[in-house]
């Protein structure tokens, strides 16, 4: 896997869903919404995404993740 940061939150969420990891229903719903909704994330959402990426061993989202 590349260590380059994700360009946007949609790509990061899709990578998490494709990683084969196990997610709660709430986390899966959150990630699915991020894939299809370009609306900027709140700080809390950005933090949650960053936590999920870190736990999966994936790189962070570049910048604030709201691009």
Residues of the domain holding 41: 9-56
**How do the pLDDT tens digits run along the chain, 67 residues long?**
568 999 999 999 999 999 999 999 999 999 999 999 999 999 999 999 999 999 999 999 998 655 5
Q: Report the C-alpha gap between 55 and 24 in whole angstroms.
A: 14
- 18 within domain boundaries: yes
- 52 within domain boundaries: yes
pTM: 0.88
CB–CB of 34/66 below 8 Å?
A: no
- 61 within domain boundaries: no
- 36 within domain boundaries: yes
Q: Report the C-alpha gap between 50 and 45 in whole angstroms.
A: 9
Helix (H) or strand (E) holding 28: helix 25-36
Q: How many distinct structural domains can be found in the chain?
A: 1
CB–CB of 13/7 below 8 Å?
A: no
- 66 within domain boundaries: no
- What values do phi and psi take at 17, rounded to 5? -65, -35
């Amino acid at each position: 896997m590349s260590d380059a940061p994700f360009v946007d939150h949609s790509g990061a969420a899709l990578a998490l869903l494709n990683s084969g990891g196990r997610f709660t229903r709430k986390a899966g719903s959150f990630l699915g919404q991020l894939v299809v909704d370009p609306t900027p994330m709140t700080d809390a959402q950005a933090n949650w995404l960053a936590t999920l990426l870190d736990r999966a061993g994936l790189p962070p989202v570049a910048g604030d993740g709201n691009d």
